[in-house]
Amino acid sequence: MTPVVAGLWGFVLLVVLMFARLPVGFVMAIVGFLGFGLLSSWDASLNLLARDFFSIFSSYNLTVVPLFVLMGQIAHHTGISSRLFNTANKFLGHLPGGLAIATIGACAGFSAICGSTSATAATMASVALPEMKKYRYDPALATGVVAAGGSLGILIPPSTIFIIYGIMTEQSVGKLFMAGVLPGVLLTVLFIVTIVVWIRLRPGLCIPAPKASLQERIASLTGVIETFILFVLVMGGLFVGLFTPTEAAAIGACGTILIALIGGHLTWKGFASSLNETTRISCMILVIVAGATVFGHFLAVTTIPAGIGAWVAGLKWPSYLIIGMVILVYLLLGCLMDSLAMIMLTIPVFYPVVTTLGYDPIWFGVVIVLVAEMGVITPPVGINVYVVAGVARDVPLQVIFRGAVNMMIALFFTALLLITFPQIALFLPGLMK
Amino acid sequence: MSRITKEIARISAGFNTLAGAAVVLMMLLTCADVLLRLLRHPIPGTYELVGYLGTVIISFSLGLTSLSKGHIAVEILVEKLPRRAQAGIEAGTSLISAALFGLIAWQSLVYATDMRQSGEVSVTLTMPIYPFIYGIAAGSALMVLILLLDSLRSAIRTVKP
């Protein structure tokens, strides 16, 4: 069997096992192990298995994952999200669709201390949905906004997807984080524009909340201070190169705990469940990374990635067409599988293609995050929609999907702008040393 | 079988507590290192220790993550099948997963023993590395038990729905 043929069979087995509901990380390790054994030797493959798992589990760079997850979990369990929403609500709630706009604002704020879409969606769902229900917001609007707004979690730093992408492709995680800031702001604005247009077109979707007085507004500002301090501390320190991403995450987690303790918001139970969630999510992520590493070693010996890279480079197609194809593949895959797994699976193949075409790896990281964001709200496998459905038990899944898909317009526009003007992503990282 | 199930759940929870403690330790150690570095007294070996604590976190949370179905899988096809077919498939996939973690446990043991015999130590602290690899073996061995039990349960459900 030639390496290429073995590689193709490997992909077939991968798809079969994955659709048989075998966990994605396990599948990649199994196929990688079998393929590598077949193409080199079984002894080498057995060795590889133990070494890859140890090197991934003990990787200093990856320890940033549990620490940032912990930071987000503590924030989730200590009511930071409800204070953010309260502030946004006091300023924006009285506008038409104001609570939905406030939800997006609070999502953006929460994303600045949390690196996951599902955690952001979960925390905002429990805070914002009851309020919106009170003012008779249309269920599709209310739930769709939370599901889509939650996706900001991986674009505005910190972000688990940027971390994993950065480590896989040996790009600076700090630069990737900075690259996410301006597109994050842009997407927040476009989400809000989408809501405003939506309400204009269908004015009966909600009734406005009462207007807050100036005093109430000023008093509510304290709800933003903690988030602001944490974000400036963590991202500022990263930006000026004061500490590594792991150190930034540790300080962020510690700071979140301290602020929660000072405010009297942290209970022992909240702390224990934060830790439990942290180990579970980190374990899930790192097992996928370890599996993808074994699989990547197999792919490398099949010579398929290099072959595809050379083939695409020889196509003489305009490069935006190829980028368009890559994005299309991501959109399709994103409908079927978890975004992290999708990225791990495709990076070894797509990354060489994209860099051969001369695109900036940091910019491509942001593009990938945007398509991953679309993936978390598109049917049938949109994790954020399921998370929101878990909170809004009276709203059927298809209604949430309908709302979320409306919000996708903003994601498409952001992606389009990002492809036309790569500077939106590359400006801030360019300022770093 | 329910006694074994309970026992495994207890061990997994215990392992997970260890993993949680490692998270806290990692956070405190890193923060202390940053603060002391500002005073020009960084803690030597932080870089290594944090990496090894990472191993502890992941190896010892494998079990509970698996018990709570926390490992991401593509549900879209299987969930549409009749219950009995689902159970049949799960019996097979759990067995395959058990085999994978069996290999990882076995190879980690071999790897750790190699490391111990060759006296391999970390660069800064000259601390032995092999205990952490035994940790991976322990976590993987627990996975084997969990997955075999899963497979058995699913097999029973396939035969006697």
Q: Does A20 touch chain B (CB under 8 A)?
A: yes
The three-state secondary structure class of A384 is helix
Note whether A47 contacts B: Cβ–Cβ < 8 A.
yes
CA angle A241, A242, A248 (to 5 degrees): 100
How confident is the prediction along chain B (161 residues), in pLDDT tens digits per residue? 789 999 999 999 999 999 999 999 999 999 999 999 989 999 999 999 999 999 999 999 999 999 999 898 888 889 899 999 999 999 999 999 999 999 999 999 999 999 999 998 998 999 999 999 999 999 999 999 999 999 999 999 999 87
User: A227-273 pLDDT, tens per residue?
Assistant: 999 999 999 999 998 999 999 999 999 999 999 999 999 999 999 99
**Distance in angstroms (rounded) separating the CA atoms of residues A246 and B156:** 46
Q: How far is B105 from chain A (nearest CA, A)?
A: 8
Largest CA distance in chain A: 75
Residues 31-90 of B with CB under 8 A from A: 31, 33-34, 47-48, 50-55, 57-62, 64-65, 68, 70-79, 89-90
Residues of B in contact with A272 (CB under 8 A): 20
Whether residues A21 and B52 touch (CB distance < 8 A) is answered with no
ipTM score of complex: 0.96
Distances (CA, A) of A240 to A109, A189, A222, A417, A433: 21, 27, 27, 28, 8
A279 closest CB neighbour out of B57, B108, B110: B57
Structure tokens at A268: 């022992």
Helical (H) or strand (E) element with A381: none
Residue entry with tokens 């801030």: A428
Tokens at residue A392, please? Answer: 């809004």
Which structure tokens are listed for A23? 């966990």
Name chain B contacts of A340, Cβ cutoff 8 Å: 72
Q: Helix, strand, or coil here: A97?
A: coil
* Pick from A60, A284, A341: CB nearest B50: A60
Nearest CA in chain B to A249: B27
Q: Is B124 on the interface with A (CB under 8 A)?
A: no
Contacts of B60 in chain A (CB under 8 A): 279
Measured between CB atoms, does B16 come within 8 Å of chain A? yes
Say whether A33 and B58 touch across the interface (CB within 8 A): no
**Helix extents (H) in A243-382:** 245-263, 268-302, 304-314, 319-336, 339-356, 361-375
Contacts of A30 in chain B (CB under 8 A): 96, 100
pLDDT tens digits for range A13-35: 999 999 999 999 999 999 999 99
Q: CB A33: neighbour CB atoms within 10 A?
A: 25
Chain centroid, CA A347 distance in Å = 16
Distance from CA of A279 to the nearest CA of B (A): 6
Asked whether the beta carbons of residue A60 and residue B57 sit closer than 8 angstroms, the reply is no
List phi, psi (to 5°) of A96: -60, 125
Torsion of CA A191, A197, A198, A200, to 10 degrees: 150
Cα B119 to Cα B107: distance, rounded to the nearest angstrom: 18
pLDDT tens-place values along chain A, 433 residues long: 799 999 999 999 999 999 999 999 999 999 999 999 999 999 999 999 999 999 999 999 999 999 999 999 999 999 999 999 999 999 999 999 999 999 999 999 999 999 999 999 999 999 999 999 999 999 999 999 999 999 999 999 999 999 999 999 999 999 999 999 999 999 999 999 999 999 999 988 988 889 999 999 999 998 899 999 999 999 999 999 899 999 999 999 999 999 999 999 999 999 999 999 999 999 999 999 999 999 999 999 998 888 888 888 788 888 888 888 888 999 888 888 888 888 988 898 899 889 888 899 999 999 999 999 999 999 887 889 999 998 998 999 999 999 999 999 999 999 999 999 999 999 999 998 6
Q: Which of B16, B54, B72 sits opposite A59 (nearest CB)?
A: B54
Q: How far is CA B55 from CA A340, B26, B52, in A?
A: 21, 11, 5
CA–CA dist B111, A35 (Å, integer):
21
- Round to whole Å and give the CA distance between B122 and A54: 14
Cβ proximity of A288 and B72 under 8 Å = yes
